[in-house]
Amino acid sequence: MSSGYKRIDIKVDENGKVHIDTSGFVGDSCAKEAERLVALLQQAGLDVKTDKLELKAEYYAKAESGVKVKRQ
């Protein structure tokens, strides 16, 4: 079962470009979290555009819920 640990590492480089690396996300939860982050940054007045998106192996993994649902 997943521990629920999630990490987002961000580097603002010397030219002001932002590099974001995530870990602990499964499936498209990472993309959803990134969308929330971008929306909040736009609210802060930043001009945010995605230059390059690299999907990691976790993106293609299925979520482990640790919960089984029985159908009656």
Partner 1 sequence: MKIKTVNEALVKQTMNAIGKFLAEHGHAGVQLVDKVGDFYARDIRNLVIGVVADDIRGFGIAIQDGKPIVVGDDYMQRLTIQNFTKMFENFYTAISMQEALKAMGYQVNATVLPKMEIAVRGVKGAGYGV
**Binding segment toward partner 1, per CB under 8 A, in 16-24, 51-59, 61-69:** 16-24
If one asks whether residue 64 binds partner 1 (CB under 8 A), the answer comes out as no
Task: Name the residue type at position 63.
Answer: A
Which long-range contacts link 45-53 to residues 24+ away (Cβ below 8 Å)?
51/17
- CB 47 → partner 1: shortest distance, Å? 5
User: 63: how many CB neighbours lie within 10 A of its CB?
Assistant: 11
Closer residue to partner 1, CB minimum distance, 24 or 28: 24
Please give the span between the terminal C-alpha atoms of the chain, in angstroms, as a whole number: 25
Binding site for partner 1 (CB under 8 A): 3-14, 16, 18, 24, 33, 36-37, 40-41, 44-47
